[in-house]
Amino acid sequence: MATELDRLLALLCEHEVDCVVVGGLAAVLQGAPIVTFDVDIVHERSDANVARLIAALSRVDARYRTHPDRVIRPRADALSGPGHSLFTTTVGQLDALGALDGCDYEALLPDSVVLDFGGRCLRVLRLERLIEIKRAAGRPKDLRVLAELEATLRRIAERG
């Protein structure tokens, strides 16, 4: 049975949204035994890709969670900029980031890997870069997972 996060990723793939999965889910997809509750992406911000992202989000009744008292749907103007758009959907939470650590989609491409996700290609931020970002952020929730992410990176290196 697919998890809610799997359903969100499948939806992004189905709609051919150009993005890099970042955050905890990027680590999980590379084998880190951590728990995460949302999908974080940095998406390519062209008009065509933003339209595909909005189409995907509309399929799961996405609305901004920063205003829980009002239903505000995804907007192209917000998704085209470098800011963060935080959504709740019928299948979980998705954070669409215009940039991460000052890097937009194109800048993150060299720091990403392509994984097979149900027969589709899914671009994911490399563990090395994710560790750098979490360490630099210095937030308690990021610092708590560093040891596990580093251990996962070592296991991957040992497997060669």
DSSP per-residue string spanning 94-137: EEEES-BTTB-HHHHGGGEEEEEETTEEEEEE-HHHHHHHHHHH
- Please tell me what DSSP assigns to residue 4: H
In a domain? residue 157: no
In a domain? residue 154: no
Q: Is the pLDDT of residue 73 over 50?
A: yes
65 vs 44: CA distance, rounded Å: 22
Domain count, the chain: 1
- 4-54 pLDDT tens trace: 899 999 999 999 999 999 999 999 999 999 999 999 999 999 999 999 999
The CATH number covering residue 34 comes to: 3.30.460.40
Cα–Cα distances in angstroms (integers) from residue 149 to residues 18, 40, 144, in the given order:
25, 17, 10
In a domain? residue 94: yes
In a domain? residue 71: yes
In a domain? residue 158: no
Q: pTM above 0.85? A: yes
- Greater confidence (62 vs 4) lies with 62
In a domain? residue 27: yes
In a domain? residue 18: yes
In a domain? residue 31: yes
CB-based contacts of 41, cutoff 8 Å, min separation 6: 12, 17, 19, 20, 21, 22, 94, 95, 96, 97
Structural domain boundaries, residue 67? 4-149
